[in-house]
């Protein structure tokens, strides 16, 4: 018998197991027994209650009020494959994070379930009892400890126990093995004693399938089940979770301040890196890397892909390739935000002269954008509509474009609904809500968002811009290749708007002085 006959048929190995061929992990009983022995016990610590716990409880209570008698299912989401057997860093769904207070990366596959109870007898006098289902750390006497690269402590470090999460959050916890029963029990039409489910969909495909199967199996007429109606029920839950975040509580505001402060530090690091960026064939990547390093040092991650756009790239609204060279006479548009460990993110843009000094035309465009931002800030008052910020800012831009002879029609015609010619050079909105998502509250109803009234506790951006592309033949050559955006993060208070990012210089003179001061300090060090 030759060696080939002694070798197992590789074609018989299941495909999903082949990714482990590289690991060469022993499978002998001797190895398994040795791996299960002689480990120090895990420390038994009862953690303090998280500062966010009471805030999260109030949020759950608010959602409970809206969906009496219905089971609510809010998944964190699973790990997502980046390449083959390597995953992206985990980030839970924002609705899950908001209702639990959990951030960071330690609860993939977790699900928060609101179980309906008799009205007023639930958590904090609400209509539900909420339970967090997740997969806790496996004991060191199990194979998962060393064999599971996604959840084994040997691979990824310790995970909180059920008791630890319960102590931190003041939220009952259960093992994820009990999740299927918790979702599917007593599902059915309310008129026959069943429980209706609402699900945050498209977060976890396995949970979507489990809920869909439960609905189908308990339907009176499965063949005529109206999936559109059920999708509408689910959408209302997502809408409610989004609208709940329109007003930030004091804990959230503090998280926003933390994210903004870290982002400001990141912008300082970018200025420090600019001299090297000017000598590198991918200077934009040097800038991107400088900011990313600060984001990882100070927070959890980037809140979104950094836009580090120089020259004509700054006229591409979502330029995230960041492959360009930075030339000394150009502007650098940096749009970046640090996501704090709580997952709240800043979103700030500054436009910097790469050599530290604006040219005459660059300064002209910059100051027009700054005037527009200031007009939007002045319009942001309690009781006015969110859309009024945009109107105020873009009206200023239209006026400047007319002064420069670029607007083909009078200002009044341009700013009318029938005109809008000025939007050729400012096609995006001026503001968006900000929080757990960089574009927060995105599923909120139009009447509460765009047509909504500004209220205390709202956090949003003001970010006008002007973008004159190299290929734009409607403008004089001197403007071409200039892109400017100024973006600040704004908190509405009872006394009016507060610019959370005001510590970063905004005027052209202040930007130049700030950059010069950093370079002077570097020269002394």
Distance CA 275, CA 281 (A): 13
Structure-derived torsion over alpha carbons of residues 199, 205, 206, 208, reported in degrees to the nearest 10: 30
User: Does the pLDDT of residue 5 top 50, yes or no?
Assistant: no
What pLDDT is recorded for position 156?
A: 83
Q: For 282-339, write each residue's pLDDT tens digit.
A: 999 999 999 999 999 999 999 999 999 999 999 999 999 999 999 999 999 999 999 9
Comparing 104 with 357, the larger pLDDT belongs to 357
User: Does the pLDDT of residue 137 top 80, yes or no?
Assistant: no
Comparing 507 with 40, the larger pLDDT belongs to 507
What pLDDT is recorded for position 3?
A: 45
Q: Which residues of 194-229 are buried (b: 16+ CB within 10 A; e: fewer)?
A: ebbbbbbbebbeebbebbbebbeebbeeeeeeeeee
Q: For 244-259, write each residue's pLDDT tens digit.
A: 999 999 999 999 999 9
Helix (H) / strand (E) containing 302: strand 301-302
User: Does the pLDDT of residue 513 top 70, yes or no?
Assistant: yes
What does the pLDDT average to over 129-150?
85
User: Does the pLDDT of residue 6 top 70, yes or no?
Assistant: no
Domain covering 250-524: architecture: Alpha-Beta Complex (3.90)
Pick from 69-83, 101-115, 175-189: least confident: 101-115
What does the pLDDT average to over 61-87?
94
What pLDDT is recorded for position 224?
A: 78
Q: For 207-234, write each residue's pLDDT tens digit.
A: 999 999 999 888 878 877 888 888 999 9
Q: What DSSP string describes 63-121?
A: HHHHSTTEEEEEE-----EEETTEEPPP---HHHHHHH---TTS-TT-EEEEEE-STT-
Burial class (CB in 10 A: 0-12, 13-18, 19+), 28: exposed
Pick from 77-81, 100-104, 458-462, 479-483: least confident: 100-104
Enter the CATH code of domain 53-244.
3.40.350.10
Burial class (CB in 10 A: 0-12, 13-18, 19+), 308: buried
As a whole-number percent, the residues of the chain with pLDDT over 90 amount to 79
What does the pLDDT average to over 99-112?
87
Do 338 and 299 contact (CB within 8 A), yes or no? yes
What pLDDT is recorded for position 21?
A: 67
Q: What is the pLDDT of the chain when averaged over all its residues?
A: 93
Domain residues of the chain, as ranges? 53-244, 250-524
Distance CA 497, CA 489 (A): 10
Assign residue 72 a region (left: φ > 0; alpha: ψ between -120 and 50; beta: otherwise): beta
Distance CA 272, CA 289 (A): 12
What does the pLDDT average to over 181-191?
89
What pLDDT is recorded for position 143?
A: 85
Q: Distance from CA of residue 15 to its chain's centroid?
A: 34
37 phi and psi angles, rounded to 5 deg? -120, 160
What pLDDT is recorded for position 446?
A: 96
Q: How confident is the model at residue 20 (pLDDT cuts 50, 70, 90)?
A: low
Do 340 and 313 contact (CB within 8 A), yes or no? no
């Amino acid at each position: 018998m030759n060696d080939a006959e002694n070798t197992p048929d590789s074609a018989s190995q299941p495909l999903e197991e082949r990714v482990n061929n590289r690991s060469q992990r022993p499978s002998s009983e001797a190895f398994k027994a040795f791996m299960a022995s002689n480990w120090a016990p895990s420390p038994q610590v009862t953690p303090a209650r998280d500062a966010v716990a009471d805030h999260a409880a109030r949020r759950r209570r608010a959602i409970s009020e809206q969906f009496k008698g219905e089971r609510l299912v809010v998944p964190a989401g699973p790990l997502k494959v980046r390449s083959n057997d390597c995953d992206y860093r985990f980030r839970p769904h924002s609705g899950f994070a908001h209702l639990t207070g959990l951030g960071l990366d330690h609860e993939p596959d977790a699900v928060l379930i609101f179980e309906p109870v008799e009205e007023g007898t639930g958590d904090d006098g609400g209509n539900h009892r909420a339970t967090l289902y997740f997969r806790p750390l496996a004991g060191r006497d199990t194979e998962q400890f060393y064999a599971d690269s996604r959840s084994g402590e040997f691979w990824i470090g310790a995970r909180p126990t059920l008791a630890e999460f319960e102590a931190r959050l003041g939220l009952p916890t259960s093992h994820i093995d009990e999740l299927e029963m918790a979702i599917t029990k007593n599902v059915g039409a309310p008129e026959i004693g069943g429980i209706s489910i609402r699900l945050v969909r498209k977060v976890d495909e396995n949970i979507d399938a489990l809920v869909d199967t439960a609905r189908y199996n308990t339907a009176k007429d499965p063949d005529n089940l109206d999936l559109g109606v059920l999708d509408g029920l689910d959408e209302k839950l997502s809408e409610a979770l989004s609208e709940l975040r329109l007003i930030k509580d004091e804990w959230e505001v503090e998280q926003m301040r933390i994210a903004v402060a870290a982002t400001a530090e990141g912008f300082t690091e970018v200025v420090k890196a600019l001299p090297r960026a000017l000598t590198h064939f991918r200077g934009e990547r040097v800038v991107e890397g400088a900011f990313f390093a600060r984001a990882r040092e100070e927070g959890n991650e980037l809140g979104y892909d950094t836009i580090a756009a120089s020259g004509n790239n700054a006229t591409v609204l979502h330029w995230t390739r960041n492959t360009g060279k930075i030339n000394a006479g150009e502007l650098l548009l940096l749009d970046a935000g640090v996501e704090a460990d709580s997952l709240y993110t800043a979103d700030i843009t500054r436009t910097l002269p790469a050599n530290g000094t604006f040219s005459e035309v660059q300064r002209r465009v910059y100051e027009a954008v700054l005037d527009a931002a200031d007009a939007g800030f002045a319009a942001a008052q309690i009781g006015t509509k969110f859309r009024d910020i945009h109107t105020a800012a873009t009206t200023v831009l239209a006026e400047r474009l007319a002064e420069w002879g670029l607007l083909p029609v009078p200002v009044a015609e341009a700013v009318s609904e029938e005109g809008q010619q000025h939007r050729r050079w400012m096609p995006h909105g001026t503001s968006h809500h900000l929080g757990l998502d960089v574009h927060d509250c995105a599923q909120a109803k139009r009447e509460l968002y765009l047509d909504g009234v500004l209220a205390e506790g709202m956090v949003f951006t003001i970010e006008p811009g002007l973008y004159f592309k190299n290929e734009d033949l409607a403008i004089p050559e001197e403007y071409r290749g200039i892109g400017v955006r100024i973006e600040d993060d704004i908190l509405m208070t009872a006394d009016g708007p507060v610019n959370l990012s005001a510590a970063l210089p905004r005027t052209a003179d202040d930007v130049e002085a700030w950059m010069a001061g950093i370079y002077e300090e570097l020269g002394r060090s």
